[in-house]
Protein backbone atom coordinates (compact mmCIF):
# COMPACT_ATOMS: atom_id res chain seq x y z
CA UNK A 1 0.00 0.00 0.00
CA UNK A 2 1.38 3.41 -0.97
CA UNK A 3 1.18 5.90 1.90
CA UNK A 4 2.08 9.56 1.50
CA UNK A 5 3.34 11.36 4.56
CA UNK A 6 3.32 15.11 4.79
CA UNK A 7 6.22 15.81 7.09
CA UNK A 8 6.07 19.28 8.56
CA UNK A 9 2.53 19.80 7.32
CA UNK A 10 -0.46 20.07 9.60
CA UNK A 11 -3.74 18.76 8.26
CA UNK A 12 -7.29 19.20 9.50
CA UNK A 13 -10.34 16.99 9.12
CA UNK A 14 -13.75 18.56 8.48
CA UNK A 15 -17.22 17.17 7.98
CA UNK A 16 -19.51 19.07 5.62
CA UNK A 17 -23.26 18.47 5.53
CA UNK A 18 -25.21 20.10 2.71
CA UNK A 19 -28.92 20.55 2.13
CA UNK A 20 -31.23 22.68 0.04
CA UNK A 21 -33.60 25.15 1.66
CA UNK A 22 -36.58 26.49 -0.20
CA UNK A 23 -39.35 24.74 -2.02
CA UNK A 24 -38.89 23.99 -5.69
CA UNK A 25 -42.61 23.23 -5.95
CA UNK A 26 -43.56 26.77 -4.88
CA UNK A 27 -42.04 28.10 -8.09
CA UNK A 28 -44.08 25.68 -10.19
CA UNK A 29 -47.53 26.65 -8.88
CA UNK A 30 -49.69 27.96 -11.66
CA UNK A 31 -47.58 26.37 -14.38
CA UNK A 32 -48.88 24.27 -17.24
CA UNK A 33 -48.16 20.55 -17.70
CA UNK A 34 -44.72 21.41 -19.16
CA UNK A 35 -43.73 23.53 -16.16
CA UNK A 36 -44.20 26.83 -18.04
CA UNK A 37 -46.17 29.64 -16.49
CA UNK A 38 -46.33 31.55 -19.74
CA UNK A 39 -45.12 34.82 -18.23
CA UNK A 40 -41.44 34.88 -19.20
CA UNK A 41 -40.69 31.61 -20.93
CA UNK A 42 -38.92 30.29 -17.84
CA UNK A 43 -39.19 26.53 -17.48
CA UNK A 44 -39.01 26.69 -13.68
CA UNK A 45 -35.38 25.61 -13.45
CA UNK A 46 -34.36 28.88 -11.71
CA UNK A 47 -36.31 28.10 -8.56
CA UNK A 48 -35.81 29.89 -5.28
CA UNK A 49 -33.62 27.38 -3.46
CA UNK A 50 -30.51 27.95 -1.40
CA UNK A 51 -27.68 25.57 -0.55
CA UNK A 52 -27.02 25.54 3.20
CA UNK A 53 -24.86 23.44 5.41
CA UNK A 54 -22.94 22.69 8.54
CA UNK A 55 -19.15 22.66 8.67
CA UNK A 56 -17.68 20.76 11.61
CA UNK A 57 -14.07 20.33 12.71
CA UNK A 58 -13.96 16.62 13.52
CA UNK A 59 -11.34 16.71 16.30
CA UNK A 60 -12.58 19.74 18.27
CA UNK A 61 -16.28 19.44 17.44
CA UNK A 62 -16.42 23.15 16.59
CA UNK A 63 -19.22 23.73 14.09
CA UNK A 64 -20.54 26.58 11.96
CA UNK A 65 -23.62 26.84 9.80
CA UNK A 66 -23.53 28.59 6.45
CA UNK A 67 -25.65 29.65 3.50
CA UNK A 68 -24.07 29.50 0.08
CA UNK A 69 -20.62 28.50 -1.10
CA UNK A 70 -18.85 31.82 -0.37
CA UNK A 71 -19.91 31.67 3.29
CA UNK A 72 -18.79 28.02 3.49
CA UNK A 73 -15.32 28.93 2.19
CA UNK A 74 -15.05 31.88 4.62
CA UNK A 75 -16.07 29.66 7.53
CA UNK A 76 -13.62 26.95 6.52
CA UNK A 77 -10.73 29.41 6.30
CA UNK A 78 -11.58 30.90 9.71
CA UNK A 79 -11.83 27.48 11.32
CA UNK A 80 -8.50 26.44 9.81
CA UNK A 81 -6.89 29.57 11.26
CA UNK A 82 -8.44 28.82 14.67
CA UNK A 83 -7.15 25.24 14.52
CA UNK A 84 -3.61 26.47 13.71
CA UNK A 85 -3.62 28.61 16.86
CA UNK A 86 -4.46 25.63 19.07
CA UNK A 87 -1.35 23.61 19.99
CA UNK A 88 -1.65 19.88 19.36
* Domain positions in the chain: 13-21+46-88
DSSP state of 54: E
CA 47 – CA 65 distance, rounded (Å)? 22
One digit per residue, pLDDT tens: the chain, 88 residues?
Answer: 444 455 666 789 999 999 999 876 654 454 444 444 444 444 455 568 899 999 999 999 999 999 999 999 999 999 998 877 665 5
In this prediction, residue 71 carries a pLDDT of: 96
Contacts of 36 (CB under 8 A, 6+ apart): 42, 43, 44
Detail the DSSP E strand segments found in the chain.
Answer: 14-21, 50-57, 63-67
pTM summary value: 0.59
In this prediction, residue 84 carries a pLDDT of: 76
In this prediction, residue 6 carries a pLDDT of: 56
What is the maximum alpha-carbon separation in the chain? 61
CA atoms within 13 A on the CB side of 43: 2
Amino acid sequence: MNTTRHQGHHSQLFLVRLWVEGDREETREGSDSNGNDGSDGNDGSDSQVEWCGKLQHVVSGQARYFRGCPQMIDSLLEMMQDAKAVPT
